[in-house]
Structures are given as structure tokens and as C-alpha cells.
Amino acid sequence: MTIARGMLLQSAQFDRFISAATGASGLVAADRIVVCGTHRSGTTLLGDLLSADPRTAQLFEPFSPLSGIACVDRWYASADRAGSRWRHVIDDYVAGRNTKWRTRRDETPNLSRWFKGTPMLREYVAARVRRPQRIVVKCPYLTLSAQYLIEQHDFRALFTVRHPGAFLASLRRVQWDAAVWLDDLVEQESCSREERAMATTEAAQAGLLWRIVNRHALETQRRFPNSAVLLSHEDFCADPHGEMDRVTRALGIAYSSKMREAVTHATGGDIVIPPEGKVEHLVRNASAMVGEWRHRVSARDEAELRQICEPLYRELVGTDWLGRRLVALDQECETSKATAR
């Protein structure tokens, strides 16, 4: 069945048919945006919000080793490293050629799937056929490839940054092990073996993963200030419309009425922490989410996270560990000094 399905939607003949029918090949759109950051940092929600306009196509996690492109066998493909083998995979994906998709392990082949292909394959085909105004690639696992996407394929990148404590609490809630991602980063030389060996606790592993991914996000934003945008998850939860207005202006797109409606709906719910076993819940009480991780992370784990992540967190979001604006703290300090004099 897999071979037959490939003949239907994943063949070179089908690629040529799409190119001839649309007059172009690959992922063609006026705006191409990739939504990145660590997983469990709000990328799914941001991808949905940026895709609220009708003439938008969203592509969900094409570089996931579980359900994405068939040859992707590592988390956080590191195409920004010179000579990376992932560059030609990205080139083919954007150009609409030689891109085959895997079937999830939990999917049982059936007649419908045989004809239609997997959901990710259908999204990919639809994006090529529809020729949308905007393409949004939601994929945290492209964070370490964002510079290549910007430089070679004219993407703009949005990085979501979640507080390290909230990141650890979220990983624990869904029972995901940060060590899995770290081991793949070591294999790709994005993490040293020495760093990995020193991260022996759950908090240290989550903190190291957070630091590697977000350090690259900051480097990308500094290198491409007009093409890369940082969004604090906590700032978004505190002021959803204000932050979305800022982000869309930075990305060069309109904060449309459809997007405003989607933001209002997604952030105005009652649920703060989703029920056990639910990986994603996209309608939340956003304001109540700010800082709630402190009830789920021990003082010992928090201290370990602070040692690994706090300096970078301050650079990324402009607040201290507790969420106080650094500018305001500096002014307060200057006022105290003046009073003391």
C-alpha cells in the first residue's frame, strides 16, 4: 500500500503534473513563514493563529522524524551547519521534488489512506496546488535550519521563547524525555559530548536543550534582524493582542480581523493546565498561565535551570527570571543610588 500510495501522490510524474498545472513548482507564496523555537513552547498555537486568514496554507512539522519527511531521522535537523546533509532535503522540500512522507507508527493502512495519503502529504500537495498568499511552516524542529531557510529560500522566521521552568513543566506533563532530543543534537555536532555527559538530571537535560535551541534563535535574530522575530510566550499570554500586533508588523503581514478573532478565542478559555494525557489544548486561559509552572517545578530543579538558562533568558526576552522588565529594574536601581547619595 505504501508503494502504491507513493505512485499516486509522491511520484516524479505527479510533481511534474503539479508544476505544469500551476505554472510553478514547490512552495510558492508571497509570504513564507517558519514558526520555530523549542517544542512545547507554543509553536502549534502560533502556527494556527498565523494561518487564520483564508488564503493561508499551514504545513505541520514536516521535519518531525515521527510523521514528516521520510528521510528525516533526527530531531532538530541542523542545516545551518556548513556541509549539513539536511540542506538538500530542505531544497527539495521547498522546490516540490523528491519529497516522500512517512506513515506514523500508530496509523494502520486502510483504503482511504491508500488513496489520500497521510495528512502531512495532503497538506503539502494542497499548498502546491492552491498557490496561497501565505505559507506557514509550523516546525520547531527547523529552528537549527532557520538561517538557511532565510538566506536561501526567502523565509521569515518567528521563534517562540518559553520560560525554562514552564518548558520543563510542560515536558513532564506529557512525559517527554529531553534526553532523546539531546542525543540527536550530539550526533549532529550541535551539542558537545561533554555538555551532554554533564546533564545527568531531568532538569539539566531540559535546560541544556532549551539553551542550545534558543541560543541559535537569538543568533539568527541578530544575524537577520529584518527576517527573524522573537516572541516571549509569557509576554503573549499577558497581552495576546498587543504581542500579535507587534509580531505581525515585524513579519510584514497584516493583523487581520480573522487573526484577531482567532487570538481572542484561543486565549479566552477556562483551562490553564490541560487534562492528563492531552498533548495539546489550544484554547486556554492565557493570563493565568503566566508563572503557573512554579507550582510544578521544585526549588532544586528551578535552581538548576537558572544556572543553565538564566543569562540567555534575560537576553532573549528582556526580563529577569521572575518576569520583571530589565529596563524597569535598571531605573529602579538608579533611583535607589540617587536617593542614597
Q: Euclidean distance between the first and final Cα of the chain, in Å?
A: 80
Residues contacting residue 9 through CB under 8 Å, at least 6 positions apart: 117, 121, 125
Confidence of residue 283 (pLDDT cuts 50, 70, 90): confident
What is the per-residue burial (b if ≥16 Cβ within 10 Å, else e) of 41-62? bbbbbbbbbbbbbeebbbbbbb
158 or 9: whose pLDDT is higher?
158
pLDDT (tens digit, 9 = 90+) per residue, 237-257?
999 999 999 999 999 999 999
The pLDDT value recorded for residue 98 is 87
2 or 172: whose pLDDT is higher?
172
Within the chain, strands assigned E span 31-37, 56-60, 134-138, 156-161, 228-232
pLDDT over threshold 90, residue 331: no
Distances (CA, A) of 78 to 73, 117, 196, 282: 12, 28, 17, 28
What pTM was computed for the model?
0.89
Q: How far apart are CA 281 and CA 4, in angstroms?
A: 35
Q: How far apart are CA 316 and CA 309, in angstroms?
A: 11
CA geometry: angle 167, 41, 121, nearest 5 deg:
130
Average pLDDT of the residues in 297-314: 98
pLDDT over threshold 80, residue 341: no
Q: How far apart are CA 17 and CA 21, in angstroms?
A: 6
pLDDT (tens digit, 9 = 90+) per residue, 156-172?
999 999 999 999 999 99
pLDDT over threshold 60, residue 116: no
- For 10-24, 189-203, 291-305, which range has the lowest pLDDT when averaged over its residues? 10-24
- Mean pLDDT across the chain: 89
Specify the DSSP class assigned to residue 107.
P
Q: How far apart are CA 100 and CA 126, in angstroms?
A: 15
All three cell numbers of 213 = 535551541
The pLDDT value recorded for residue 11 is 53
